[in-house]
Structure 1
Amino acid sequence: MDSLPQHNGPPSGTGIDNIVEIWHLYRSPIILAVLAVLICARVYIHATESKGELVALPRAYAAPPEAAPVTEPKPARPDEKKPTKSNGPRRIKGGMVKRPSQNDDDVTVSDKPVKTLVFYSSVTTKTHKIAEAYIEKLATSFEALTKSTGRQFLQAELLNLEDIEFDDYFVSLPSFDGEPDVFYLFLIPSYNIDTITDTFLQHLDETHHDFRIDTGSLSSILGYSVFGFGDSEGWPTEKEGFCFQAKEIDKWMAKLTGRRRAYPVGMGDMKGDHAARLSEWSAGVLDVLEHVAKTGNLGEGLPGSGDAEESDPEDVAEDDDGEVVIGDEGDSTQTGDLGDVEDLGKLVRSSDSDKSRPSKGAIPVDFTSYGAKKSKPVPAGPKEMVAKNSPTYAALTKQGYAIVGSHSGVKICRWTKSALRGRGSCYKYSLYGINSHQCMETTPSLSCSNKCVFCWRGGTNPVGTTWRWVVDPPDLIFNGVKENHYKKIRMIRGMPGVRAERYNEALRIRHCALSLVGEPIFYPYINQFLAMLHNERISSFLVCNAQHPEQLAALKAVTQLYVSIDASNKDSLRKIDRPLHRDFWERFMQCLDILREKRFRHRTVYRLTLVKGFNVEEEAEGYAKLVERGLPCFVEVKGVTYCGTPTSSNAGLTMGNVPWYWEVCDFVRALEKHLKARGLNYGIAAEHAHSCCILLASDRFNVNGKWHTHIDYEKFFQLLEEKGVDGDWAPEDYMGPPTPEWALWGNGGFDPRDDRVDRKGRKIDRVIVRDRPEEVEV
């Protein structure tokens, strides 16, 4: 059989058949060749075509740029189509803009003029006349501000809410020639009849909830503030409606402006103090305008400052004076946030710069042996207690503490903020007549010689029996704590609910509580520091731990002198205070003897901090013995407060160690009974149930059947100036008026000027239980 012929050349047949056969034979290389040609062509085109400007489209959720560069607009091409207008609803732009840096050095101060608009409403023309007079005063004030700041303040414009279109001013900001920064002021009377103010409030509400308008449509405003006029006869208190419409306007403006509240709501009585209150409010507003003109911002504020939701995270589980709180222990080796505590000790690490710091001014003070006259040698290169580049410094300042110098501190306590907002003052107002919003919490020494199990510093603060750190001069500490205190008060200016009159009062310190943290008597120049306070008529309450008898004996005039009495016997004191001194009980008893000697020169106080399981059960009689030894003017009994996990893992403290108020009451009754049995004339005088605090007082302060636990502070300073620290005068000489009825034992002790609220700002009226509930077994 013949074999078939082999075809090595092109296929034979018709042309179409040949093409099909060629495709089937060579289609793979043909396809690959075409792809290669296309790729090369595309690369060539991209490499040779001219590159145009790339325009990035902003994402809807992207934050606005801080400073967009100004560029000349490109000329439109003839064939370029103009964008068509949307037929949908117009959207007003606004929202939360990025705030400028709170550091004045980082803020670019605007040179734009400032335009102030004053809105008012009036039914009887009284507010109209007041507003016209206010505008005239602003003209003079603005001339002075223009000269002092170099920034132009335009003539203020007075606008009646009845004569304006609300959309022109409260949906978006109005435009003016020169594009000035706009500042809004409101003078608003409150009525229980339908007025233009009700229509205005409805407009603000609708604007805030309109889906077409951004929530903060007025956020580009420079700032705003509201003053309300009320009638104390018709509505005596804020709870009953005093100036309620002014407060409503403030709330809605906070929402629409992105919390640009420049100054607290002012309130005045049209039949009383409205002129004085308006003058105070006006002065505060002018101070803010001056600050804005110089710095470009309203000032540093707290997180959530001005939040219309009335939330204040620092209201949570914080004690009133930083003395008796069971706090978080935490990991002392971490550099992150500390809880709301004074966690100082193990985090304190000396830096390399500490070694280079000169030892000039460092004083060796030895408290270990009070009988010795010689001090220990000065260690080479004394270190700072809290160095500025240490993790402790960073953590504490982040938590709201201001470290002054190298070993002192100051912080605003939550009762200060509470009093500023009309939510109640601490026990010191109830028992002694001290306004919480005029009180400064500070200490000249962050170190202590005890490691108490209930200390809210977690037992990690710097401790020692000998001062081994650099010593700062008292004037540096005094000026530093004042400056930082006032700075922190100003930070609260934008917080919702702050009362303008109390804010003005808070800018004048009238009292200093030396009990924030540490042991203030540990500071070698404590007498000089006290003298500086008294020279500015600032009263002083000093708390010490009864471990430094020599320092206690050398102490000069103090408005009120506390000694912490945390246990009634040696074994109990060792367990609860965990003192560093080996002769702690002898020191403790010697301090009580010194306090007995001082009882006719100082108002002396025993402070008892009750911790269940440590110093409550069956110890009332032992405490009575200690009272008999020291004979203090007052005995202040306070239940420990819980604010987190146990302070010490060794102590194992829990909520079970916190006494109920009725348990504190039972203890105080038992203590009073034991004191009477010993022939000691003490009685239960006053209370502050909200702080779980009760005051026993000597009959020295019971005059004609009435307790006089409050202090005449002006008389104290008068005696100090006339007779000096070593003069012949006694605590009775500056005894104040009778203790108010509401503060006496059995009446609760809550400030009647204020309203108690829960964490959401809702008013509450809790029942005070002073007797053991029936369901509780003995």
Structure 2
Amino acid sequence: MTGAPAMTDSLLAVWHAYRLPILVAVSIFFVTLRVYTQSQSRPKTAASSSVPVSPRGQSPEKSQKLDAPAEKPIAPQNPTTKEIFKPAPKSVKPASGPKRVQGKKKPAKTIGGRRPSNEDNDNGPPVSFIQPIVFFASLTTTTERYANAFFPPQLHDISYIDFDDFFTTVPPSSSPDTRYVYCILIPTYNIDTVLSTFLGHLDETHNDFRIDTAPLANLAGYSVFGFGDKEEWPTEEQGFCSQAKEVDRWMAKLTGRKRVYPLGMGDVKSDAENALKDWTEGLLDIFGDILEYGGLGEGVRGSGDAMESDEEDVEDEDESQSGKKKSSTMVDLEDIKMNGDSAAPLPVDFTTVGKAVTVTETAKEMVPKTSPTYTALTKQGYSIVGSHSGVKICRWTKSALRGRGSCYKYSFYGIKSHLCMEATPSLSCSNKCIFCWRHGTNPVGTTWRWKVDEPELIFNGVKEGHYKKIKMLRGVPGVRAERFAEAMRIRHCALSLVGEPIFYPHINRFLEMLHNERISSFLVCNAQHPDQLEALYRVTQLYVSIDASNRESLRKIDRPLHRDFWERFQRCMDILREKRSYQRTVFRLTLVNGFNVDDEVQGYANLVEKALPGLVEIKGVTFCGTSTSAGAGLTMKNVPFYEEVAAFCVALNAELERRGLHYGIAAEHAHSCCILIASDRFKVNGKWHTRIDYQRFFELLEREKADGTPFIPEDYMMETEEWAYFGKGGFNPDDERWFRKNAKPRPTHLIPAEAQAQVDAHVQAQDS
């Protein structure tokens, strides 16, 4: 009697485990059957399978092939969902920058009372191929999972594309009779995500006087599907699929009302799969109509033809006249108070053309506890402090607690990893770097528009979170008791976790709290906030990330949100040069093969010559092995071998010597794939002094506060250990080097022989 219930339970478990692929397979079967049936009564024209790939979605090695002429796609006679949405050859990259794109669709004419066909189409060349381009956004991977289930893997994550490549102008097609249809899958969040930036871009594009109001009019059409949660937002009026509705509204404006299929909406907790299946089938029907009749048809809602109603324009007018006042981008000079009792200054972002950002009393939290961002970051090991700060344990902290070595900061600067706290007062960033470990899970923005937590709350919160995580390691095998006891007193703080620390409005007060407890400060910024960098107080060591040596490489690898990112970058170089006289300044170069290594030594030397940093850290990129990394164009092929990093350092050092700049290769930490080039100001009697005397630093800092006595980096430097010198590996002999069990030896045959030869020659020259 117990066998039947057990079998029922097992079948139910199998059904819950595999219901999604089963439903997808069944839906694809019926879609295929339906399209096959319809195709028998239509001319044998079909949809093309080539989908253009964003240049940001691939490494430059792959993009080198983009200049090759694209072959004309061959249309299958009986298109299926897989054939319509399958990956295909790459298209030529569109020219960068805004373009004026003309192209209003002429009203379709009836011929003998019938709808026009391809042969009758007088609006440009006939349409023989449809290329659907699928875009999606996903923070919790739910939308990505649905997109991959209903469409092939060749998709575009909105987080990893350049909006100008697709939403300012239409990408060039592989043949004149090919037209694109944009299929956009959008979830809705009540927090700031990349969708907020995307909507802002659509707004700016439509209102930019340099660009035609409908720059995407050359598309065959578009359609949007939204994912929402009816438990949180039961109705559309309460916010169900609100961001999808916004995207649909802006796309109607940008395409000249070429909505090929109505906005689809699905509840992720009930009917999302069925709703998406219905929407997909409807799209396939419309694709067939476009191929057969050459367009959407006269008078069809969403066609953009003359007979279409202007309902959306009327809605916009009603909204502006119904008491919902739109924020103005203009400020009357007479309204600006110049006396001391004036209100707080309005934050202005000069890199955008859209609506001005104003601070309101009801500012939102950057990372609410109920948000998917909070869930994603805590799953990654973060402790979220307040509404916009975080702290996390580094893997080197665990390693140091077990006596298995500290990170490169111990070899270079004398920081023991188990005494170091990694934290950030701002989880938001203005870049979307391809090598960022947080791929789309942390907020982005160009101006601070969130609630601001007090620095006292952040300081106490990050310390409490760090100590809690240290205590959780007390039961880990191999942890040394004396190091565990030492770890309960934070000595150093690396403000480099994620996001942009100087983005936080009260960063200087936060730094003062660190220094008051004699906690050293290592602050890393991304060279995109020159005003904040200029106003920054003294820190123990100031880093600026230098991820590329020229404008185009920086755009590809950092994917900045600021339009004037290169000008901001250059201004930060000037500020860094000014600070070098009293501040330890560091360039941090992250090398990514195929992006910022080849033929860029001269460019990096130009930047060093301009800013004259005291130190230059050069490290190879770390691949975190996620699917989102691959979506950004990063694979293991982009990770350089240590010998390649060393060869790059040798070449850069030689170029600096050739220019008469006094630098040299001072130290290395091979385990971290990191090498340090230092200015000769840190060289005394032929020996490097890159380490920091932290006690002396705080003594000098307190004296400066008391009587204003200035001090310089040379006043608190210490001699570098011999074992950290270049060519000696950089591993602390007091620790025990640990190797993974059954670890395979590194394939030395893959290391470029030229790189190995350069490193060997430099080390031999140093020894002699």
Partner of 1:546: 527
Unaligned runs of 5+ in 2: 1-135, 146-158, 161-185, 192-231, 240-342, 759-768
The whole-number CA distance in structure 2 between the counterparts of 1:536 and 1:621 is 42
Residue 428 of structure 1 contacts residue 434 of structure 1 at CA under 8 Å; is this kept in 2?
yes
Partner of 1:730: 712
Deviation, structure 1 residue 390: 1.7
The whole-number CA distance in structure 1 between the counterparts of 2:732 and 2:530 is 37
Partner of 1:446: 427
Question: Where in structure 2 are the equivalents of 1:273-422 lying within 5 Å?
Answer: 331-334=138-141, 349-350=190-191, 366=347, 368-369=349-350, 376-379=357-360, 381-422=362-403
Residue 337 of structure 1 contacts residue 395 of structure 1 at CA under 8 Å; is this kept in 2?
no
The whole-number CA distance in structure 1 between the counterparts of 2:487 and 2:757 is 47
Residue 686 of structure 1 contacts residue 694 of structure 1 at CA under 8 Å; is this kept in 2?
yes
Q: Aligned to 2:651, which of 670, 681, 684? A: 670
Residue 347 of structure 1 contacts residue 392 of structure 1 at CA under 8 Å; is this kept in 2?
no
Matched, 1:504 2:485: yes
1:677 corresponds to which letter in structure 2?
A: R
Counterparts in 2 of 1:440 and 1:363: CA distance versus 1, 3 Å: farther
Residue 373 of structure 2 contacts residue 442 of structure 2 at CA under 8 Å; is this kept in 1?
no
The whole-number CA distance in structure 1 between the counterparts of 2:594 and 2:143 is 33
Question: Where in structure 2 are the equivalents of 1:672-687 lying within 5 Å?
Answer: 672-687=653-668
Q: Aligned to 2:554, which of 573, 576, 591? A: 573
Superimposed CA distance per residue, residues 55-79 of structure 1 (whole angstroms, 9 cap, x where no aligned partner): xxxxxxxxxxxxxxxxxxxxxxxxx
Q: Aligned to 1:470, which of 451, 462, 466? A: 451
Counterparts in 2 of 1:698 and 1:383: CA distance versus 1, 3 Å: same
Counterparts in 2 of 1:743 and 1:652: CA distance versus 1, 3 Å: same
Residue 608 of structure 1 contacts residue 635 of structure 1 at CA under 8 Å; is this kept in 2?
yes
Deviation, structure 1 residue 366: 3.4
Matched, 1:591 2:567: no
1:462 corresponds to which letter in structure 2?
A: P
The whole-number CA distance in structure 2 between the counterparts of 1:435 and 1:766 is 28
Counterparts in 2 of 1:754 and 1:330: CA distance versus 1, 3 Å: farther
Matched, 1:626 2:467: no
Superimposed CA distance per residue, residues 85-123 of structure 1 (whole angstroms, 9 cap, x where no aligned partner): xxxxxxxxxxxxxxxxxxxxxxxxxxxxxxxxxxxxxxx
The whole-number CA distance in structure 2 between the counterparts of 1:346 and 1:561 is 39
Q: Aligned to 2:545, which of 564, 572, 577? A: 564
SS of the residue 2:422 aligns to: strand
1:493 corresponds to which letter in structure 2?
A: R
Deviation, structure 1 residue 460: 4.0
Unaligned runs of 5+ in 1: 1-328, 356-361
1:624 corresponds to which letter in structure 2?
A: A
Residue 661 of structure 1 contacts residue 770 of structure 1 at CA under 8 Å; is this kept in 2?
no
Residue 377 of structure 2 contacts residue 441 of structure 2 at CA under 8 Å; is this kept in 1?
no
Residue 448 of structure 1 contacts residue 464 of structure 1 at CA under 8 Å; is this kept in 2?
yes
The whole-number CA distance in structure 1 between the counterparts of 2:187 and 2:721 is 45
Residue 515 of structure 1 contacts residue 543 of structure 1 at CA under 8 Å; is this kept in 2?
yes
Residue 363 of structure 1 contacts residue 470 of structure 1 at CA under 8 Å; is this kept in 2?
no
Higher helix share: 2
SS of the residue 1:636 aligns to: strand
Counterparts in 2 of 1:748 and 1:735: CA distance versus 1, 3 Å: same
Question: Where in structure 2 are the equivalents of 1:514-533 lying within 5 Å?
Answer: 514-533=495-514
Residue 404 of structure 2 contacts residue 737 of structure 2 at CA under 8 Å; is this kept in 1?
yes
Residue 406 of structure 1 contacts residue 470 of structure 1 at CA under 8 Å; is this kept in 2?
yes
Counterparts in 2 of 1:731 and 1:768: CA distance versus 1, 3 Å: farther
Residue 528 of structure 2 contacts residue 569 of structure 2 at CA under 8 Å; is this kept in 1?
yes
Q: Aligned to 1:537, which of 490, 494, 518? A: 518
Residue 661 of structure 1 contacts residue 769 of structure 1 at CA under 8 Å; is this kept in 2?
no
Partner of 1:611: 592
The whole-number CA distance in structure 2 between the counterparts of 1:410 and 1:571 is 33
The whole-number CA distance in structure 1 between the counterparts of 2:650 and 2:679 is 15
**What CA RMSD, in Å, does the superposition of the two structures yield over aligned residues?**
3.5
Partner of 1:241: none
Question: Where in structure 2 are the equivalents of 1:22-171 lying within 5 Å?
Answer: none
2:139 corresponds to which letter in structure 1?
A: S
Matched, 1:773 2:580: no
The whole-number CA distance in structure 2 between the counterparts of 1:674 and 1:745 is 18
2:572 corresponds to which letter in structure 1?
A: C
Deviation, structure 1 residue 347: 9.1
The whole-number CA distance in structure 2 between the counterparts of 1:631 and 1:521 is 21
Superimposed CA distance per residue, residues 616-665 of structure 1 (whole angstroms, 9 cap, x where no aligned partner): 00100110000000000000001001121354556421111000111101
Deviation, structure 1 residue 336: 12
SS of the residue 1:574 aligns to: helix
Superimposed CA distance per residue, residues 519-558 of structure 1 (whole angstroms, 9 cap, x where no aligned partner): 0010000000000000000000000000000100000010
Residue 374 of structure 2 contacts residue 384 of structure 2 at CA under 8 Å; is this kept in 1?
yes
Normalising by structure 2, report the TM-score: 0.53
The whole-number CA distance in structure 2 between the counterparts of 1:534 and 1:370 is 34
Deviation, structure 1 residue 768: 10
Superimposed CA distance per residue, residues 293-337 of structure 1 (whole angstroms, 9 cap, x where no aligned partner): xxxxxxxxxxxxxxxxxxxxxxxxxxxxxxxxxxxx995244799
Counterparts in 2 of 1:383 and 1:513: CA distance versus 1, 3 Å: same
The whole-number CA distance in structure 2 between the counterparts of 1:728 and 1:331 is 50
Superimposed CA distance per residue, residues 705-750 of structure 1 (whole angstroms, 9 cap, x where no aligned partner): 00000000001100110112964111111112x1001111110011
The whole-number CA distance in structure 2 between the counterparts of 1:347 and 1:710 is 49
Counterparts in 2 of 1:488 and 1:346: CA distance versus 1, 3 Å: farther
1:618 corresponds to which letter in structure 2?
A: D
2:468 corresponds to which letter in structure 1?
A: K
Residue 666 of structure 2 contacts residue 676 of structure 2 at CA under 8 Å; is this kept in 1?
yes
The whole-number CA distance in structure 1 between the counterparts of 2:141 and 2:417 is 34
Residue 404 of structure 2 contacts residue 736 of structure 2 at CA under 8 Å; is this kept in 1?
yes
Superimposed CA distance per residue, residues 232-257 of structure 1 (whole angstroms, 9 cap, x where no aligned partner): xxxxxxxxxxxxxxxxxxxxxxxxxx
Residue 758 of structure 1 contacts residue 764 of structure 1 at CA under 8 Å; is this kept in 2?
no
Superimposed CA distance per residue, residues 580-599 of structure 1 (whole angstroms, 9 cap, x where no aligned partner): 11111111000000000000
SS of the residue 2:675 aligns to: strand
Superimposed CA distance per residue, residues 145-187 of structure 1 (whole angstroms, 9 cap, x where no aligned partner): xxxxxxxxxxxxxxxxxxxxxxxxxxxxxxxxxxxxxxxxxxx
2:606 corresponds to which letter in structure 1?
A: K
Q: Greater CA radius of gyration, 1 or 2?
A: 1
Partner of 2:536: 555
Runs of 4+ aligned structure 1 residues displaced above 6 Å come to 335-338, 343-348, 362-365, 762-771, 774-778
Identity %: 68
Residue 435 of structure 2 contacts residue 623 of structure 2 at CA under 8 Å; is this kept in 1?
no
Residue 567 of structure 1 contacts residue 623 of structure 1 at CA under 8 Å; is this kept in 2?
yes
Counterparts in 2 of 1:764 and 1:365: CA distance versus 1, 3 Å: farther
